[in-house]
Structure 1
Amino acid sequence: MELLELEANDIRVVGIHGRDGIGKTTLAKIIYDKICLRFDACSFLAEIEQTTQQPGGVRYLQTKLIFDILKKEYEVASAFKGVRYLKEIFRKIKVLIVLDDVERESLLKDFVGAKLDWFGPGSRIIVTSKEGRVFQDFVARGLAHIYNVILMDVNVAFNILWQHAIGIGKSDKLRPYVKIEKSDELRPYVKIVIKIVKAAKGLPLFLKVFGSFLHGKGLEDWVKFKNLIQQFQEDPQKILRIFYDALDQQQKQMYLDIACFPPDVDYGIASCMWHHYVDPRGAIGVLRDRCLITMEKEKIGMHSMLRCLARKIIREGFHDPGTGVGLYLPAIAEDTNEGKKGTDHLNTEEAGFDIPPNTTFLSLGDANIGGHFADALMNVRWLHWQGCPRDAINIHLEKNENLVILDLSWSKVTESWEGWKRIKMERLTVLNLTGCVDLLVTPSFSCCPNLELLILERCSRLVHLDPSINDLTLLVTLNLKSCSELSMLPVEMAGMNALKELLIDGTAIRELPESIGKLVRLQILSATNCFSLARIPGSVCGLEALSELAMDDGKILELPESLGNLHQLSRLSLRDCRGLRKLPESIRKLGYSLKELDISGTGISRLLNSTISLYNLRVLKMDSCFLREFPDYIEDLISLEEIHASWCRSLQGVIPPSVSRLHCLKELRLRGTRISSITQEIWYMHRLETLDLLHCDLLQELPTLCPPGLSNLYVNPDLKQKMLELSENSSWWHLLQ
């Protein structure tokens, strides 16, 4: 925090430097969460080194960066154009950017420029890297500061390992080991843990994996593990191999699979690889509980050290089929001479590549496949061919009965691509065509009748969906996000009666067809940034399974009066629908279901009395509205956990005492309003964790007592200084320093 010096108005990089597994990314996430509200816009780009090894990786990350900061899609045609665009739009914006796992100086300059002149004053860029040379040029010019992550304190390391080994939940108070050691029952375990902590050398990754492995095991197993760890403590790969060997065959196969997958792959896609397994979700749970993978919002991730171990095991399997993974090689195509990934512009037949016959996951990058590989591809279940050439005519997958996932994203395929005829897709479950900008019309889907997930995201020139899409009776998800030229959906959609997710965000669609009301299983309808969408048909209100409806940035002037018939609706987002002036009275019928309501940026100036019935509402967002006051009945919304009313410039006066009766409230955000006083009863809000009063210029003082659970307070610097000068005994003192 000292190196960031947030009060300074310069632009600077702060590098977090340290060895693998020491906690650089974790530290970056904690700092990011702590300070993100102080910036105009923020972006966290994870696993940059791994992502940029994929075709179009830099372009993808630059596009994500633009979206995070501008909240709208912009397709970066090339890295050079991305740089130019970033420089033009970001100069006036105070941004916080985290670039995680940058191992090349050139990559750092791809995202922040050589002179740090792309961003507005006060911007901060946090970069994690195990390579110190990444920062050298910036440090030499006084543009960067380095934080070297040191090994963890032995007491803290003990507590982390103990927490994972004994299984204490995050909400439980962790006893320091000096107290634990006094217990006769636990003393033998404590002595072992002390030795294991020493062998872990203060690396959080090891501490978590070690502790998770020991969880539920007896003293004898603890002793055996300690002896093994001490034997291999100078070789991290051998230590990690212990945890791999302890998995059953199915868990091993899934672990090796995940190591080959792209970073942060969606579980919904990955799980299609494992449909033939008995309990894939259970196996994923084991890998997660043992800290061999991470799972956040259904995205599967893996630490680089664990990924390296897996790929080493796979390489051993290529050259020694007699090893434990010889029967199953979820592998990347290897060069038999050099052992390098086949991801360059090449023809595999000419380059002497070998694809083992048991390969089930194959990543080819821009490579072309020679004809003599037909038999070797018989077991491929996931073909990851990002950057597939337009003239890829040598492919022979007509006999493959196993292909379930075909990923051709960011490639040059068109509706007339020869590959559609050369790939057997009868069992295909996932078709990913993300970023296929040459695709004007979708191919016929008659060749893949069992499709469950169709991704056409960012096909920016797509104008027409083939009518055969309505024959996909098993389709669960249709993703058309950022197909910016697509102006209409098929008139008839009833055939897709298994559809649960319809994502049309960022399209040019003007209206939804009436037949959408026949999608009886539809749960999520997301149409954010559809700037031409002006009306929601009444048939939508017949979707009894609908749980999420998002229409942000639409031209909608009113909602159907029958909206209250959506008895399963839990999230309704209407952010920046500026022409919307009121909610329908029938919203009261959603009292049992609605948990999140976002009317930020709409023309709504007051909440109707009908919203008093929303007693299950957890999150209420009203940012940048014309709201003049909180409704008198606010206390009746007893389940509220978050109130967002920032930049409501008409909101003024005193926050009423009734707010203090919201005993579940955790966040109260009033940034940029004209409130002048906070009720003294705020002290009774024992669960309140975040209070945002920044830019509340009329607020001259805080209540006498601080809510006991408050951990995040945002106020103007002058008010902070005034409160600090009043008394060191103030209950706000610890938050104001």
Structure 2
Amino acid sequence: MLGLSSCAFAADDMSPPPTRKHDVFLSFRGEDTRDNFISHLYAELGRKKIETFMDHKLARGQEISPALYKAIEESMIYVVILSKNYASSTWCLDELAKILECKDRYGRDVIPIFYEVDSSDVRNQRQSYAEAFVKHQRRFKDHQLDAWKAALTQVAGLSGWDSKVTRPENRLIEEIVKDISRKLNLNHSFLNDYQGMIGIEKHIEQIQSLLHLESEDFRVVGIWGMGGIGKTTIARAIYHKLATNFSSRSIILNVGQEVERAGVYHVKNKYISELLGEDSTSSGLSLKSTKALLVLDDVSHSNQVKDLIGTCSNFGEGTRIIVTSRDMQVLKNAEASEIYEVKEMSFKDSLQLFSLNAFKQNYPVEPYVDLSKKVLNYAKGVPLALEVLGSLLYSRRTEEAWESQLKKLEKLPNDNIFKMLKLSYEGLDEEEKDIFLDIACFYRGYSENVVALTLDSCGFSALIGMEVLKDRGLISVLEGRIVMHNLIQEMGHEIVRQQCIEDPGKRSRLWKHEEIYKVLKNNKGTDAIRCMFLNVCKIEKVQLHAETFKMMDNLRMIVFYNPYDFTKDSNVILPTCLESLPDDLKFLRWDGFPQKSFPLDFSPKNLVKLDMPHSHLTQLWQGDKVLPNLKILDLRGSQALIQIPDLAQCPNIEEVILSHCKKLGQVYSSSFLCKLKCLWLNGCISLRSLHIPSNILLTTSGLIVLHGCRDLEMFSVGNAKMGVQLHGHTVSRHRNIFTALKLREKRSRSPYEKFSNSFDLLDCLKLNTEPKHYMQLLKLEVLRKESPSLFPSLNELCWLDLSYCQFLLSLPTEIFKLKFLKRLYLRGCFNFEDFGEIKETVESLMLLVLDETAIKELPSSLHHLVGLEELSLRYCRKLEMIPSSIGSLGKLSKLDLIGCESLETFPSSIFKLKLTKLDLHCCLMLKTFPEILEPAETFVHINLTKTAIKELPSSMEYLVRLQTLCLNMCTNLVSLPNSIVNLNYLSELDCSGCHSLTEIPNNIGSFSSLRELSLQESSIVNLPESIAHLSSLKSLDLSDCKNLACMPPLPPSLNQLFGYDCPTLGRMMTNSKKDTFKFHFFNSQELDETACSNIGAESWLRITEDAYRPLFFCFPGSAVPGWFPYRCTGRPVTMKRDSQDWPSNNRLVGFALSVVLGRVDIDDTIPICSSFTYTLTYESDGRTHIVHNFNEINYYFHTKGRSRSVVQNHIFMWKYHLNLSSIGNRLLDAHNFTFGCSKLEYLSSSKSSVIVKEYGICPLYRKEKDENGGNSLRH
């Protein structure tokens, strides 16, 4: 659920609808209906107390009046009486167009009345409607006629009333008034709730766009998220907002519980009876002919959706079904065309919601600000938690009580929150519950792959189970790591704790170090324990009993890990002999294991992963033990290890890690290891013999690491025919063996010549040290002389790195016959210029890197690389042409063309690719941007920085998902296409440094999503008036616009405005309503007195209206504003605290600070480079304290990529908040404040002549509560 309050909420990204003054607006043709039908309808609406607007003027002009437009905008419901002569009036047609615009923009209701006309005649403009348009054609242009016809077609398709069907007239009027009353009740109900739902507008706007209400198809939309995140509230809000757009509607809450309680047919009957007013047994035909809105809330199983709604053929055209669920799979199985994820609330909205419940106002009160932030950090944006905790803390009116409650929450979650979240857990099967509890207790924040392998080793189907948890919203994955909400993790912890509240030894999982310490120390383990996960650094040394693990028969996982110091002995001390370990153990990790071997009776038959880094083991065990399930053996850093068992006892082994086992002399297997993938032996300085019969080097992922094995004499990793020996530095010539073998030699021994004699192409050897030097030495001339015979022998090669082979001129086509080659690197081959033709289809190659080569063009046969996913041509400075065949590479998802200085154009077929980013940065000769022939839905970012582009095509609008467009330093760019405003997802447009750009499209205000607009250093003269309509714009940069003369009103969403060095700017207006506002107008010499006065007045309002809204102002001026009570010229200002200036019934919340900065000699022409820091000095506890701050004006004159000269005096203003200061509480008792600034001359290359000419400080107080129950500020 979302929070409710009595105060109105202004959305960040959605302009509020106009104030409602009228319930109903009547649109009619007077000569047809005024004296009969309309007069009767108007009278009946009056009797029902429904506020109705009717234009009583009989004579109308040619154009609709602004007052009438305003009346339309301020009405809730529009009743359009479509009579015989309605279309003959252009006034009526303009009225109708405006009505439909408000319907689409604000979700208003339109009720058409077909008064003695057929709806089909209106829809198709026949009969009198056709005659009307014949007359209009003589006076109006086609686009105006088309707009009116479209409006008539649209309104005729809406659900309304027909005077020929509902008779007599008094009954028709009665039914119309009933319909209006019902719609008004719905709207009023929604509006009352809507005003207080914090953050709801953004959700409604986004879900409404997913519903595509303009389409007549059947559509299901899902709303997904964790428990308590607000799905039900959002669904109810969208239902009430859109209900009147549908002829019938129904919302069913708690579907899962209702189905369990009363059965699916009861729920189905319920919604059908609400939709149709009849029983489901007779509903088939009626339901198909109904445009319905149906909301099914909290569906728990896929079969519930199937049983309740069946297929789309059961419903009428235009029907919309909204389904909410915690389970993503439910929504996928419901064939939802779109799924909307409800994410956590922002910090700002969270603070407001919590404050409304905890303080009954929009902001926290002192001294609870820091405590409130702790609550927000705990709740992490979950509305349910914020409401519950806010209400819980409301009655606790002391800081000590809050602290006590927060400490309690750290140990025990709130019961209401726990019960709500546990519903998601209870819907899991037993294995999924185990996986969830393991992740909640042990693996939050771990790599997804590592967790999957670990859970697999415990016998789970990890990938399937983790997908289920993702679908239920219990986990997510970010950058490869598992993310779990704090509250969900706490829910998992509480489930385990409740298994036995008093005795941790009887719980299934132990992860708290203090509990594990007690269990181990007192030998309290039981067969209930299945997993133990301990950071040994967090406990004191504990002596285990010989039979510590004897009672833990079901233990499947032991992890005793040390994340810090591997050389330190473990805090878990074993007796002379550990007598037993559980036979069911599947995963054992014990960092620094203190014994020399495992217990004699340990049966590791179930062990899947044995992880014992930095152990004291000399051997694993005496004799042979079969480990049929072992997949990973990790003994890295076990410096006492002398031997390991015959690996033939581990037939399923996949990875062996023995790095830096310095005493290990031999590794062998007496039988073939068919599953071995990785063998790490680096740093095994005593290793002499390695014999591993396997196919490790015949697999694409096979890897052996041997660097540092300086005494290795016998090396055999294949069968008898494929053995390879390495003695000293001589390697016999056996191709087909190496695919990813890595060797590292000491530079001092200079083995290059021997390697060169031993390998033709290093036998696919990828050296690990300074490949540039190795490759230069080898020169790879073999590629020119012996290529026909060489490449067929490298048929297992999967990775070929020829980077920095300066003698390489071309690539033999035989290389593309290597069936397993996935990656080919030619980076830095400065003389490589001929790629050659590709004569056959290549499926395996995924990555091709040609960076910094001399290649001039790619072959047209490039389309044969059908498996290519990444192509990098970065800094190919001679590249002139890209073939159009590149558009055939269906898998290509990354293309890097940065720095291709000779490239003049590129083919339009590029837009057929699945690229998300097209980066042409520093393609200095690129002059034309090709036409885009069809919608390209994957492109998100396009960077054309420092290109020679002159214009963009109008087909840019086909980049339908584009979010950022960077045109920085496109000095030849003259204009932007008008169609650019059709990029509905574009949020960032950078035109900085476009010196030839003098204007932007007049319709730029149509951008609905633009958040950042930079026109820095362009030649813009005027901004279009429509810029005020950029409802999402947050940042506008006009710095260095030397020709900018004036600015129109700016959008209210703006929170950053940059205008450094705009010398010709004379007029400007700001209209921002944002909480955070930064206003930078520096060196605007022509800014007129009225503009500066308005800026000063606005700064006063913003500084005094709210304690917690950060702001910054810089604008031309020579004096600190007069409303600062403490001002001083030429030296720091001191404010003395006395009984008059510091009333005891007020609280200090911070200061408004101001300085005037200017030059000593205004005629000085020396460039100025100054940096400042400011300080607050105060006296408290008999001592003088200094608070330094570098944030506000430090480096202010070194911004936007340059050092700036000061050409006039400037006023700077900002706030200093006590709640942001670590010394806030001491300041409350302080006195004699001094505010001063100092220059940081050491940061300047020359002496600066900028000085602080005047200081000002204004204390800001807040009353405990004003007369309305909220905060107030005064100075």
Using the size of structure 1 for normalisation, the TM-score is 0.57
**Relative to structure 2, which stretch is displaced further, 326-335 or 470-479?**
326-335
Matches of 1:607 and 1:597 in 2, distance apart? 12
Which position in structure 1 is the counterpart of 2:599? 421
Contact 1:260/1:311, CA 8 A, preserved across alignment: yes
Which position in structure 1 is the counterpart of 2:952? 728
1:242 has 2:423 as partner? yes
Which position in structure 1 is the counterpart of 2:894? 690
Which position in structure 2 is the counterpart of 1:653? 856
Contact 2:743/2:767, CA 8 A, preserved across alignment: yes
Q: Where in structure 2 are the equivalents of 1:353-432 lying within 5 Å?
A: 354-366=524-536, 367=539, 368=542, 370-371=544-545, 373-387=548-562, 388-389=570-571, 391-393=573-575, 398=580, 400-409=582-591, 411=592, 413=593, 417=595, 420-421=598-599, 424-432=602-610
Which position in structure 2 is the counterpart of 1:176? 210
Matches of 1:402 and 1:227 in 2, distance apart? 38
AA paired with 1:729?
P
Deviations 1:264-311 (A, max 9, x none): 334333223227xxx676545544544544579998775554333211
Q: Where in structure 2 are the equivalents of 1:211-222 lying within 5 Å?
A: 215=302, 217-218=304-305
Contact 2:648/2:673, CA 8 A, preserved across alignment: no
**1:586/1:676 CA distance change after superposition, 3 Å:** closer
Match of 1:500 among 676, 683, 687: 676
Q: Where in structure 2 are the equivalents of 1:54-133 lying within 5 Å?
A: none
Match of 1:270 among 455, 458, 481: 455
Match of 1:628 among 804, 821, 832: 832
Matches of 1:509 and 1:381 in 2, distance apart? 35
Contact 2:611/2:634, CA 8 A, preserved across alignment: yes
Match of 1:667 among 861, 870, 881: 870
**1:197/1:513 CA distance change after superposition, 3 Å:** farther
Deviations 1:496-516 (A, max 9, x none): 635422332754679996733
Aligned residues: 531
Q: 1:156 offset after TM fit, Å?
A: 7.9
Contact 1:293/1:302, CA 8 A, preserved across alignment: yes
AA paired with 2:679?
L
Corresponding residue SS for 2:880: strand
The runs of 5 or more residues in structure 1 that have no matched partner are 1-149, 160-174, 203-209, 565-570
Which position in structure 2 is the counterpart of 1:154? 203
Q: 1:476 offset after TM fit, Å?
A: 0.8
Q: 1:154 offset after TM fit, Å?
A: 1.5
Matches of 1:701 and 1:228 in 2, distance apart? 52
**1:561/1:646 CA distance change after superposition, 3 Å:** closer
Which position in structure 2 is the counterpart of 1:527? 704
**1:224/1:255 CA distance change after superposition, 3 Å:** farther
Which position in structure 2 is the counterpart of 1:468? 645
Matches of 1:227 and 1:440 in 2, distance apart? 52
Matches of 2:549 and 2:709 in 1, distance apart? 47
Matches of 1:536 and 1:332 in 2, distance apart? 45
Which position in structure 1 is the counterpart of 2:501? 319
Higher relative contact order (CA 8 A, sep 6+): 1
Q: Where in structure 2 are the equivalents of 1:41-52 lying within 5 Å?
A: none
Q: Where in structure 2 are the equivalents of 1:432-443 lying within 5 Å?
A: 432-433=610-611, 435-436=613-614, 439=616, 441-443=618-620
Deviations 1:476-531 (A, max 9, x none): 133327x2465987364334635422332754679996733456898543135836
Which position in structure 2 is the counterpart of 1:88? none
AA paired with 2:630?
E
**1:642/1:625 CA distance change after superposition, 3 Å:** farther
The runs of 5 or more residues in structure 2 that have no matched partner are 1-198, 239-296, 310-320, 328-381, 389-415, 563-569, 724-735, 746-754, 925-943, 968-1275
Corresponding residue SS for 1:317: coil
Q: 1:468 offset after TM fit, Å?
A: 2.0
**1:551/1:694 CA distance change after superposition, 3 Å:** farther
**1:712/1:349 CA distance change after superposition, 3 Å:** closer
Matches of 2:906 and 2:219 in 1, distance apart? 49
Contact 1:599/1:621, CA 8 A, preserved across alignment: yes
AA paired with 1:677?
E
Contact 1:399/1:424, CA 8 A, preserved across alignment: yes
Name whichever structure is richer in strand by fraction.
Answer: 2
Q: 1:314 offset after TM fit, Å?
A: 0.4
AA paired with 1:384?
V
**1:467/1:213 CA distance change after superposition, 3 Å:** same
Corresponding residue SS for 1:549: coil
Corresponding residue SS for 1:385: strand
Contact 2:797/2:818, CA 8 A, preserved across alignment: yes
Which position in structure 1 is the counterpart of 2:880? 677
Corresponding residue SS for 2:491: helix
1:259 has 2:259 as partner? no
Q: 1:246 offset after TM fit, Å?
A: 1.1
AA paired with 1:621?
Y
**1:704/1:319 CA distance change after superposition, 3 Å:** closer
Which position in structure 2 is the counterpart of 1:16? none
Contact 2:200/2:234, CA 8 A, preserved across alignment: no
Matches of 2:216 and 2:740 in 1, distance apart? 56
Contact 1:497/1:521, CA 8 A, preserved across alignment: no
Contact 2:838/2:862, CA 8 A, preserved across alignment: yes
**1:642/1:431 CA distance change after superposition, 3 Å:** closer
Corresponding residue SS for 1:270: helix
Contact 2:531/2:558, CA 8 A, preserved across alignment: yes
1:550 has 2:740 as partner? yes
Q: 1:458 offset after TM fit, Å?
A: 4.5
Which position in structure 2 is the counterpart of 1:104? none
AA paired with 2:947?
M
Contact 1:492/1:515, CA 8 A, preserved across alignment: yes
**1:422/1:538 CA distance change after superposition, 3 Å:** closer
Which position in structure 2 is the counterpart of 1:52? none
Matches of 2:882 and 2:820 in 1, distance apart? 25
Matches of 1:295 and 1:589 in 2, distance apart? 42
Q: 1:658 offset after TM fit, Å?
A: 3.5
Match of 1:611 among 815, 818, 827: 815
Which position in structure 2 is the counterpart of 1:713? 918
AA paired with 2:210?
P
Question: What RMSD over aligned residues (CA atoms) do the two structures have, in Å?
Answer: 5.4
Contact 1:550/1:574, CA 8 A, preserved across alignment: no
Contact 1:444/1:466, CA 8 A, preserved across alignment: no
AA paired with 1:653?
K
AA paired with 1:196?
T
